[in-house]
Amino acid sequence: MPSAQVLYSFDAYRRAGVNLCLGTDSFPPDLIRGMDLGVHLAKVVDGRADAAPAERYVEAATLGGARALGRSDLGRLEPGARADLVAFRLDDIRDGVQDDPVRTFLLNGTARQATHSVVAGRPVMTDGRIPGVDLVNLRRRAQSLFDRMREAYSERDLRRRGARELFPPTFPPFEEPRP
């Protein structure tokens, strides 16, 4: 789907039997925020508060993807499945009060709250740490690659605008007042 568009209508596609699945490969690189946005946009598009309840988005992010891949061993916790799961914290005051843990997390949380992750039954994140991964260096490398990619946009821009013109800052840089 091109940028700046919304699925019309999540609920109508689901009722028609379309297998809906979710993932993310762009901004925000946070599936939880993407589900939150989807829940809210579905309400706006359909004009109904019940257009896309949280559980439908959780299903699309788990079972929907598994169905799209034809993988009955993914997207579920049951005997014979791969046992992929993620645990999140909900004890921060910024999460607000809890009504339903899934809905509370989906509407108030982010992937940053992940504390544990298990892939195929093997722990890959414990207490928010990924063993063997230097996150400081990884972030530095990712930023370097992103900066190079952003600078290269001018090569594909018909008007050959530079990165500063294509991606201006939200606010002008702060400058110290001169005496």
Residue 115: helix, strand or coil by DSSP?
strand
Residue 175 lies in a domain: no
**Mean of the pLDDT values across residues 17-35?**
84
User: Does one domain contain both 28 and 105?
Assistant: yes
**Mean of the pLDDT values across residues 43-63?**
90
User: Is pLDDT of 8 > 90?
Assistant: no
Please count the CA atoms within 13 angstroms of the CA of 58 that sit on its side-chain side: 13
Backbone angles phi, psi at 87, to 5 degrees: -110, 145
Which residue range forms the structural domain that includes residue 87? 10-125
Residue 160 lies in a domain: yes
Residue 87 lies in a domain: yes
User: Does one domain contain both 61 and 117?
Assistant: yes
What 105-110 contacts at long range (C-beta under 8 Å, 24+ apart), as own/partner pairs, is 105/32, 106/32, 106/35, 106/36, 106/39, 106/54, 106/57, 106/58, 107/36, 107/39, 107/54, 109/32, 110/30, 110/32, 110/33
User: Does one domain contain both 57 and 144?
Assistant: no
User: Does one domain contain both 105 and 70?
Assistant: yes
pLDDT of 54-63, one tens digit each? Answer: 899 999 999 9
**Is residue 27 very low, low, confident or very high in pLDDT (cuts 50, 70, 90)?**
low
pLDDT of amino acid 28: 63
pLDDT of 90-110, one tens digit each? Answer: 998 888 888 899 988 988 899
User: Does one domain contain both 88 and 149?
Assistant: no
User: Does one domain contain both 91 and 14?
Assistant: yes
Output the pTM of the full model.
0.75
Residue 5 lies in a domain: no
